[in-house]
Structure 1
């Protein structure tokens, strides 16, 4: 009977702040990402670019440890199921646990974007880009968020920067004639 009491108390003791696990550094995928950016810039088709983009997502979503990966995966699954508040809870926990992991901020920004909370999304996207300056998805998400805020010149600039890294982004249509970010004076 004593043994049954000690195990739960010991487990509770291990989860107190003094013994709480801290998030390790995120894996350094900068070399791999650099190579993928070079490949996507040379891609000859949308299909080829899509395959490279999927490889980029594998690197971005490679969380620092199992706990972070679980929070990220649950947040993304809840977002996919349209449980945006549940997704926010998971992603809030992720950024508290791993404040230096860019994808936690990028995913939380996406959820806030879907909720049309553009100011919150922009804060998270800026943090994601501070941590990972070549995060193309965060760059294009930032452009869409700025568009949502009606900050068109900034949105145009942000999207142009993302397209310099990945010319195959579907958001490029926003800069084309008739697109929401068509450069001024191009309609003449």
Structure 2
């Protein structure tokens, strides 16, 4: 029995630690799901507030070291030190590859460095991790417009409209891109 107890103690302890660690993530996911439902029906003023709340939730990595790297990357971007930001954010996505916000922020750093291909890649990765990340979709749509891919940009904006109908930029972007993306009637 003593051997069994000494074997089970670390397993039970690991289970308790894992449960304690995962609890906030489960609550976080439930909070985001509820906010996403509210966002679909919200008027523009409420939608902006709800979108901000969602963004705050998305910024929670659940890891102190990931949060630190995210903070350092953002601070470097704010100072205009794009190469340094990319270094911190690359360390972040290496450390926490399932944290979609790391990919989104690094995409922004790549964009500021003029590296559109890597920026698109990171936004696509963020969307694989979080298919509802409307800010990643907006970024992707913007990049698609820049590289003259109006159909892809239109589709990305359309997806944002389905998730966040009151997003201030989407309706105008869809109107602007519709002739190029869908064509015009003769």
Residue 94 (structure 1) shift: 0.3
Residue 187 (structure 1) shift: 9.5
Residue 47 (structure 1) shift: 2.3
Q: Is 1:78 aligned to 2:65, yes or no?
A: no
Q: Which residue of 1 aligns with 2:179?
A: 183
Greater per-residue helix proportion = 2
Per-residue CA distance 1:77-118 (angstroms, 9 max, x = gap): 221222211211110110111111111111101111233311
Q: Which residue of 2 aligns with 1:33?
A: 32
Q: Which residue of 2 aligns with 1:135?
A: 133
Alignment of 1:25-174 (within 5 A): 27-28=25-26, 29-44=28-43, 46-172=44-170, 173-174=172-173
Rounded to whole Å, the distance in 2 between the matches of 1:77 and 1:187 is: 49
Rounded to whole Å, the distance in 2 between the matches of 1:40 and 1:75 is: 29
Provide closer, same or farther for how the CA distance between residues 187 and 112 of structure 1 changes in structure 2, counting only shifts above 3 A.
Answer: farther
Rounded to whole Å, the distance in 1 between the matches of 2:47 and 2:165 is: 9
Provide closer, same or farther for how the CA distance between residues 175 and 187 of structure 1 changes in structure 2, counting only shifts above 3 A.
Answer: farther
Structure 1 alignment gaps of length 5 or more? 1-23
Give every structure 1 segment of 4 or more consecutive aligned residues whose post-TM-superposition deviation is greater than 4 Å. 185-188
Structure 2 alignment gaps of length 5 or more? 1-20
Residue 186 (structure 1) shift: 5.7
Rounded to whole Å, the distance in 2 between the matches of 1:135 and 1:157 is: 14
Provide closer, same or farther for how the CA distance between residues 168 and 80 of structure 1 changes in structure 2, counting only shifts above 3 A.
Answer: farther
- C-alpha contact 1:72 1:91 (8 A) present in aligned 2: yes
TM-score (norm 1): 0.77
- C-alpha contact 1:118 1:148 (8 A) present in aligned 2: no
TM-score (norm 2): 0.78
Q: How many residues align?
A: 161
Q: Which residue of 1 aligns with 2:10?
A: none
Rounded to whole Å, the distance in 1 between the matches of 2:37 and 2:179 is: 27
